Structure 1
Amino acid sequence: MYKSRICCAVIAALASSGVHAQEESQNKAAIETIEVTATKRTESIQEIPVSVTALNGSALENLGVDNFQDYVEFLPNVVFQGNGPGTNEIYIRGAASSQTSISVSSVQALQPSVAFYQDEQPVSMQGRNLDIFATDVQRVEVLPGPQGTLFGASSQAGTVRLITNKPDLSGFSAGVDMEIAFTNGGEPSNTLEGFINAPLSENFGVRIAAYNDKQGGWIDNILNQPGQGGYIGSAIVIDRISGGPLTDPANTPVVSPTNNALVEDDFNDAQYTGARFSGLYDNGDWSFLIQHTQQTLETEGVFAYDPNLEGESSTNRFQPDDNKDEFGLTTWTIEGRLDQLELVYTGGYLDRDIESNVDYTGYTNGGLFAAYYVCNHYEAATPADERCLDPTKFYKEDTNTSRTTHEFRISTPTDNRWRLIAGVFMDEQSVDTVGRFKLGNTDLGFFSNLQRTTVGTEGINSNGGPFEPDVSFVNDVTHDIDQIAVFANLEYDITDSVSANFGARWYEIDDEYKGSTTTVDVSRRLRAFGTMDPNELAAVGLDPVLVQQAIDSGQLQVDLLDDNGVLTVDDTIFKFGVDWKVNKDLLLFANYSEGFRPPVTNRVGGGLATNQNGAFEGFRIPVYSLTDTLDNFEVGMKGDFLDGTLRINATAYYSEITDLQTSRFDPTNISFLFFTDNVGDAEIRGIDADITWLATENLVINSAFSILDTELTNINPELAGIAPPSGSELPYSADFSGNLRARYFFELDGDLSGYVNGSLVYTGDRLASMKMDAYVLEDTTQLVYGVGSGLKIQDEAAVYEGVTYTDSNGHVFRGGRYVQESYVLANVAVGVTNDEWKVEFYVDNITDEAAMQHIDNQQFTPKVMTNRPRTFGIRFSYDVF
């Protein structure tokens, strides 16, 4: 009787941790085989010949995973970089480059290299992937490597899919989960979420899930001390950016901004509030699913500390920081059969509104234009009359994103010797952005009496009228991207155990960028390049003769623009593969696949660099970045061993990136506006592996790791001496990262069972950027705060040779990048459960590690994005079936 009870408890617990009992001849439990839709069919993860990682809903629950940041930690070939909730970018297998600052990502940013989906709907956005709270989730699928033939643009390096639970017509069910947590040195957090699944008839049912998650802060906005955070309060800075000091260095005034009214402990709060409603009709032959997700994410403060200040939870902010990110996502899917063909039509509509207030005071240290705003516009009669304004600045953003997609596809029966999936995909995106900056005094010539722009920008989101009195610079643009694609994937069984597959996708993308900044009529500028009308080029401040020379020499490219300034690109990408089912437990496969990111148009394309010395002499900003492509070769295995108690899935791969896109911002030398460029070519070699072992009837061990070797192999000649040299590593991805998870089960009295969960996550050293600007930022940090950041820097090359500015000792700045140093995170949980309820006590980040998850170098002094300190909590769940 005792043995029977403990076996039942173990089997139930195995099922909740991603493992289930399959009664085999040996009467042993076996590892669960998760069903995934990575190939747009529902298939066993062990039988599809592509690399896929999946965490099912039970595994996510056991790991305590609720949001984007949490579940990425347990996917070692996936990294995120960003500045907190709602502002993250995903990278897979090391295919990464610098993204635009979050403050202007809606205006000028690269398209993502990794596509993010909720179910069938792509919800990717440059610099701001949709941060969906993971409630009532069936699984998270990660498809590393190019997935462009089936999933299109922005699937260049992989695809992440969040698959939600759908209505279940088999019976009523409901559940509620509650959690309260206490963070060391921070505020408490709490979560409440629940779902109801109700069949209303034999063929129709509904499901509702709702949640409210309040995450307490732990970062302190501390008082700025006199003489600290002075910004521009040094003759060295003024000399570097304006060619001469304001006054004698010993008498240069220090301007220290004040933040008395904003001083606050634990000011980085975040709150997710939302619900998902779905209805399903299914008569056995045809089904119709409609679903709507509504979420509001509100944050206050920042999620990074200033390393130059004491501790790892302190920052200085001088303007309010807050963000409200609200979206509504409606999706629909019709499935049915027509004779031997399965038909699927799926579509979706996303409406997203973002309102942000950002402290932009750090921009004061940004170079030429920033100092002009604060000090240099004064024409003092004598040095004694020279003075500087309050350097505090802000950025305010209002962005509306809408996205509508349609996909229709057909597929043949899975038991055919040949199997076909084919379809057509349409996508319409629109990003409307008004960004308002306070950069200093507004009475600076072209900043006077700002109006919402209307010139030559038919259809943009401006409505006329003045902005706030403090606003001195405006971005007011609309970015429309329309795509159509046709795709097909054919599989053929050469023998009973050997199969081959071939996939292709033709696409055409129209990219229209229209609107204006305070200083640039973007619409007219792009039309001028599209028509190459000398009068139009001259009207936007360009010399037609010099522009034509730059085009003839290949320095500028404009052939993708039509007369209206619309950029159009089309191409066909391919995939090939072969797989061998060695036996029922072992699959070997080899694949070749292609991925891409479309070009990005620039606001100030064609303009000459401000600094015409050394490496910057003759440099022109590209009108648009070129498409960057990724060619991937991989071999892999999926196998179950030791009577199904050991599973090893592993993939080795080699990738080549051509014309790797990167974001650039160099206000001292080139432009005070972000733009995109192609840094060069790169190669990536790596191994991914996932291992699951049923060590005993009571112990399940999971592990995963990623080994990477990345290298820039060729540098754009115009960026030689500016970008990292050939042989350098790509940013953000560690040479080695991995995790280890264990779950032990034991029986208690009555119908109760207990368990202990433990996890270790290791991430190795990573470079923080594509730009070699760490020593420049260190010098600025020293000048502003009187101390350096203390962050580790990897030397790479002498940089900016021949450029006029130097460090305080008169030496040319060295080239180096900050290192995001390695870290280990450890979690543990103890729980008690029966068939209906569960209580769990947990400790996350046992060692109170302050992990360097991202170093933001776009505020001209480094800021370190970190994780939550040690957190104790209790979770309770109750389910009715």
Structure 2
Amino acid sequence: MSGKSRSSWTFAPCIRAALCCCALAPASVGAQERPIHVEPAPLAEALTALSRQTGIAIGFEGRLPGLRSRRVDGRMTVEQALARMLEGTGLEAQRLSPTAYRLVQAAPPASRRDPVRPAPPLPPEGSVDIIVTGTKREEPLARLPISVAIVQAPGEQGGALLPGTEEVAQRLDGLTLTNLGPGRNRQFIRGVADSPFNGNSQSTVAILINDARATYNAPDPDLKLVDVERVELLKGPQGSLYGTGTLGGVYHIVTRPPDAGSFAAMAGMGASLATHGEMGGSAEAMVNLPVVADRLALRAVAYAVREPGWIDTAGRGDANRGELRGGRVALRALAGDWTVDLNGMAQMRDVADSQYVYARHALERPAQPAEPHDNDFALMALRVAGKLGGADLVYAGNWVDHDVSSTLDASDLSASAFGIAPPALYLEQRRNRLFDQEVRLSQTRDDGLSWLAGLSFVDVRNHLSGVVRGCGMRRSGPAYRAWSNFRLSATCACR
């Protein structure tokens, strides 16, 4: 070949010997299947190994590029082995004789313009597979016959869905707050309201955390939504499913459950700056720990927030700053068709002062006593779910301890009502205890018929006391030990 071409050729060391005896090799050597095993290696070394195993000669015009070959292993022909070995190198093998091959640059694929295809139509709004559990059973959002609004987390892991109830209200149509401040607000849905002030009457909106009822007549605890899957807003009335206190609707928080299949962790920090105010910051962390693979898992969440103030009261700049601390621990056990969830959570909120002003667009107010507010919330919940025949059985029980204390400036009324010279303060303390249990049985059949039946028991105890203090004097108002509310109801619905 060298006499017919001015180009130089490079062969593997053993290829020359193979050429000398090529006349003795059978003419069909390239078409015979044989066991071939060549590990990934620089191309020159791989070709040498292939030549030793098959007795063929392989040449290349010039110097072999510094490429690596692919692994070749199995029973195949020489040409199949060369094609697999050269895949991705930009080279291909040309057969010169039954035992000789030449490597050349592979021809580029012919350019082909793909036909323009119209973009697929957008899926209809109801086709998104969102499962709602606020109706006491898992149902696709598109099939629900009631009005439901949802804020859903974008991913499987993450930090806060939204900072709190105020931000959720800005996203969901129909949910409004009284704007008294964090930890003091009452929720209203569709404008169904009794009073903007917190009193002894039962709220028109029920706040639920998973299957646990969180409030009865206390203000919204404004829980920070860390590691929360979604928030569901079921517009009322919802008395057939939740009993009294749901004339406006249900505010349902769904947390992420423990995952017994994989470990996960998250940590984050943030900073904020209030307009005409001060700096704030936050930190949060989550860990999901499988204790027994696919059987038992633990999930823990912790967070802390320093909320900036922006109201200046004479002598106190940014007076309405606040602090928030909280956490949640969940344990999940799996046994066949049965699931047991044990959840505990607590949150403490301290706000240094109120947030109202006396003039529109004002951020300052004259000298007055500070009006701090504390909202401490704790919950323990147990849920057991499984199959009973062809139906789904769920037991849900929870206990809530919710303490709320507020201080208000009572200087204008203290002299006439209590004979106390100003400045005077009214200190109000509320202690709410709620014990809720429920058992329900439901089924959704293949023919579309579904039914739900359940029994529930609720015990609520509320203690309210108020004290007026001023100028070394103290007057106690009547202390109210509120009712114990027992409710036993059975609900059965079919559709």
Task: State the TM-score, normalized to the length of structure 1.
Answer: 0.40
Q: Which amino acid aligns with 1:179?
A: G
1:41 to partner: Cα distance: 1.0
| In structure 1, C-alpha distance between the alignment counterparts of 2:154 and 2:411, rounded to whole Å | 45
Q: 2:249 aligns with which of 129, 151, 158?
A: 158
Given the alignment of the two structures, is residue 92 of structure 1 paired with residue 189 of structure 2, yes or no?
yes
1:81 to partner: Cα distance: 0.6
Given the alignment of the two structures, is residue 213 of structure 1 paired with residue 305 of structure 2, yes or no?
yes
Given the alignment of the two structures, is residue 296 of structure 1 paired with residue 348 of structure 2, yes or no?
yes
Given the alignment of the two structures, is residue 186 of structure 1 paired with residue 277 of structure 2, yes or no?
yes
Partner of 1:484: 487
| In structure 2, C-alpha distance between the alignment counterparts of 1:62 and 1:131, rounded to whole Å | 17
Partner of 2:164: 67
Given the alignment of the two structures, is residue 49 of structure 1 paired with residue 145 of structure 2, yes or no?
yes
| In structure 2, C-alpha distance between the alignment counterparts of 1:134 and 1:417, rounded to whole Å | 35
Q: Which amino acid aligns with 1:297?
A: R
Residue correspondence of structure 1 range 60-139 to structure 2 within 5 A: 65-100=162-197, 102=198, 105=199, 109-126=200-217, 128-139=219-230
Q: Secondary structure at 1:46's aligned position in 2?
A: helix
Alignment RMSD, CA only? 2.5
Q: Secondary structure at 1:72's aligned position in 2?
A: helix
Change beyond 3 A, Cα 1:129–1:408: same
Native 8 Å contact 2:178 2:196 kept in 1: no
Partner of 2:426: 395
1:345 to partner: Cα distance: 0.3
Q: 2:475 aligns with which of 468, 472, 476?
A: 472
1:63 to partner: Cα distance: 9.8
| In structure 2, C-alpha distance between the alignment counterparts of 1:122 and 1:193, rounded to whole Å | 25
Change beyond 3 A, Cα 1:269–1:476: same
| In structure 2, C-alpha distance between the alignment counterparts of 1:279 and 1:413, rounded to whole Å | 28
Given the alignment of the two structures, is residue 268 of structure 1 paired with residue 365 of structure 2, yes or no?
no
| In structure 1, C-alpha distance between the alignment counterparts of 2:460 and 2:230, rounded to whole Å | 27
Q: Secondary structure at 1:73's aligned position in 2?
A: helix
Native 8 Å contact 2:210 2:252 kept in 1: yes
1:26 to partner: Cα distance: 3.8
Bigger radius of gyration, 1 or 2?
Answer: 2
1:417 to partner: Cα distance: 4.4
Change beyond 3 A, Cα 1:154–1:274: same
1:62 to partner: Cα distance: 10
| In structure 1, C-alpha distance between the alignment counterparts of 2:131 and 2:122, rounded to whole Å | 21
Partner of 2:295: 203
- Superposed CA deviations along residues 654-697 of structure 1, whole A, max 9, x for unmatched, are xxxxxxxxxxxxxxxxxxxxxxxxxxxxxxxxxxxxxxxxxxxx
1:347 to partner: Cα distance: 0.5
Q: Secondary structure at 1:412's aligned position in 2?
A: strand
- Superposed CA deviations along residues 698-745 of structure 1, whole A, max 9, x for unmatched, are xxxxxxxxxxxxxxxxxxxxxxxxxxxxxxxxxxxxxxxxxxxxxxxx
Partner of 2:465: 434
Partner of 2:372: 322
| In structure 1, C-alpha distance between the alignment counterparts of 2:395 and 2:367, rounded to whole Å | 49
Q: 2:134 aligns with which of 17, 31, 38?
A: 38
Identity of aligned residues (%): 23
| In structure 2, C-alpha distance between the alignment counterparts of 1:474 and 1:318, rounded to whole Å | 23
Q: Secondary structure at 1:363's aligned position in 2?
A: helix
Q: 2:439 aligns with which of 402, 405, 408?
A: 408
Partner of 1:361: 411
Q: Secondary structure at 2:171's aligned position in 1?
A: coil
1:473 to partner: Cα distance: 3.3
Change beyond 3 A, Cα 1:280–1:187: same
Return 5+ residue gaps in structure 1 as ranges.
1-24, 223-262, 365-369, 375-388, 442-468, 492-500, 502-881
1:314 to partner: Cα distance: 1.4
Partner of 2:37: none
Native 8 Å contact 1:217 1:266 kept in 2: yes
After superposing on structure 2, the runs of 4+ consecutive aligned residues of structure 1 that deviate more than 4 Å are 27-31, 59-64
Q: Which amino acid aligns with 1:484?
A: R
| In structure 1, C-alpha distance between the alignment counterparts of 2:174 and 2:355, rounded to whole Å | 24
Q: Secondary structure at 1:58's aligned position in 2?
A: coil
Q: Which amino acid aligns with 1:399?
A: R
Change beyond 3 A, Cα 1:61–1:303: farther
Greater RCO (Cα-Cα under 8 Å, separation 6 or more): 1
Residue correspondence of structure 1 range 682-761 to structure 2 within 5 A: none
Q: Which amino acid aligns with 1:482?
A: N
Task: State the TM-score, normalized to the length of structure 2.
Answer: 0.71
Q: Which amino acid aligns with 1:341?
A: A
Q: Which amino acid aligns with 1:346?
A: A
Native 8 Å contact 2:322 2:352 kept in 1: yes
| In structure 1, C-alpha distance between the alignment counterparts of 2:289 and 2:188, rounded to whole Å | 38
| In structure 2, C-alpha distance between the alignment counterparts of 1:28 and 1:83, rounded to whole Å | 42
1:183 to partner: Cα distance: 1.7
Q: Secondary structure at 2:478's aligned position in 1?
A: strand
Residue correspondence of structure 1 range 15-26 to structure 2 within 5 A: 26=120
1:64 to partner: Cα distance: 7.0
| In structure 2, C-alpha distance between the alignment counterparts of 1:62 and 1:176, rounded to whole Å | 8
Native 8 Å contact 1:272 1:296 kept in 2: yes
Change beyond 3 A, Cα 1:317–1:481: farther
Change beyond 3 A, Cα 1:437–1:90: same
| In structure 2, C-alpha distance between the alignment counterparts of 1:64 and 1:274, rounded to whole Å | 16
| In structure 1, C-alpha distance between the alignment counterparts of 2:316 and 2:288, rounded to whole Å | 43
Residue correspondence of structure 1 range 447-458 to structure 2 within 5 A: none
1:185 to partner: Cα distance: 1.2
Native 8 Å contact 2:152 2:161 kept in 1: no
| In structure 1, C-alpha distance between the alignment counterparts of 2:139 and 2:221, rounded to whole Å | 27
Native 8 Å contact 1:143 1:159 kept in 2: yes
Q: Secondary structure at 1:471's aligned position in 2?
A: strand
Q: Which amino acid aligns with 1:183?
A: A
| In structure 2, C-alpha distance between the alignment counterparts of 1:489 and 1:72, rounded to whole Å | 32
Native 8 Å contact 1:407 1:424 kept in 2: yes
| In structure 1, C-alpha distance between the alignment counterparts of 2:243 and 2:412, rounded to whole Å | 38
Q: Secondary structure at 2:183's aligned position in 1?
A: coil
Change beyond 3 A, Cα 1:82–1:392: same
Q: Which amino acid aligns with 1:195?
A: M
Change beyond 3 A, Cα 1:58–1:362: farther
Partner of 2:102: none
Q: 1:420 aligns with which of 451, 454, 474?
A: 451
| In structure 1, C-alpha distance between the alignment counterparts of 2:209 and 2:135, rounded to whole Å | 16
Native 8 Å contact 2:208 2:253 kept in 1: yes
Q: Secondary structure at 1:71's aligned position in 2?
A: helix
Residue correspondence of structure 1 range 229-268 to structure 2 within 5 A: 263-268=315-320
Change beyond 3 A, Cα 1:63–1:280: closer
Native 8 Å contact 1:327 1:352 kept in 2: yes
| In structure 2, C-alpha distance between the alignment counterparts of 1:64 and 1:352, rounded to whole Å | 23
Change beyond 3 A, Cα 1:116–1:362: farther
Q: Which amino acid aligns with 1:49?
A: P
1:127 to partner: Cα distance: 5.2
- Superposed CA deviations along residues 617-671 of structure 1, whole A, max 9, x for unmatched, are xxxxxxxxxxxxxxxxxxxxxxxxxxxxxxxxxxxxxxxxxxxxxxxxxxxxxxx
